[in-house]
């Protein structure tokens, strides 16, 4: 089963270019998009338009921008890491090269930090790297590999 990727990005152009880069890199995983931080949290909670877990399964990988409307990316990361039984890979994908942002992201539990390139071909290289490492070679915790989205949500909602 091909696991879902959640792209949390508010800039429509960046969403479009990431979708294109993933396609060029041969990433077959479904890519869901949340356009702000609250929407990302709602996606994980399975509330509102994200209530149908068959259509919106919990992601195995989150590509998270930092500068987001409503709830900032670092707050989304902190929220994700506080949820029992939900342990997706979270890679920050941001324009920020600020050392404070990088350090805080790792301190809050980011698995990686990538700076958005200005060139589309470089973005495709990043997508290839994500595919090769995070989707192919990396071994996630058993709980994210073997439990269904429904089981994970049930665990998370008990908190």
Helix (H) or strand (E) holding 151: helix 149-157
Write down the pTM of the prediction: 0.87
What domain range includes position 143?
A: 5-157
When divided into structural domains, the chain yields a total of 1
pLDDT of residue 157: 57
Q: Where residue 131 sits, what CATH number does that domain have?
A: 3.40.50.2300
Reply yes or no on whether the pLDDT at 115 is more than 50: yes
Helix (H) or strand (E) holding 114: strand 112-115
Q: Are 68 and 8 in contact (CB under 8 A)?
A: yes
Q: Taking Cα atoms as reference points, which of 119, 100, 99, 101 lies closest to residue 64?
A: 101
Tokens for 12?
């429509």
Q: How many angstroms separate the CA atoms of 43 and 117, rounded?
A: 27
Average pLDDT of the residues of the chain? 89
């Amino acid at each position: 089963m091909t696991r879902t990727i959640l792209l949390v990005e508010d800039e429509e152009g960046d969403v479009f270019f990431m979708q294109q880069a993933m396609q060029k890199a041969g990433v077959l995983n479904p890519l869901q998009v949340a356009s702000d931080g609250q929407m990302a949290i709602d996606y994980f909670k399975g509330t509102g338009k994200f209530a149908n877990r068959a259509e919106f399964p919990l992601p195995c990988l989150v590509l998270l921008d930092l500068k987001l409307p409503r709830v900032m990316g670092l707050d989304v990361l902190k929220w994700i890491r506080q949820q029992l039984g939900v342990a997706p890979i979270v890679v920050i994908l941001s324009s920020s090269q600020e050392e404070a942002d990088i350090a805080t992201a790792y301190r809050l539990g980011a698995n990686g930090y990538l700076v958005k390139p200005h060139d589309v071909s470089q973005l495709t290289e990043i997508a290839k790297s994500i595919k090769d490492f995070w989707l192919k070679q990396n071994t996630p915790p058993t709980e994210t590999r073997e439990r269904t989205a429904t089981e994970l949500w049930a665990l998370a909602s008990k908190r």
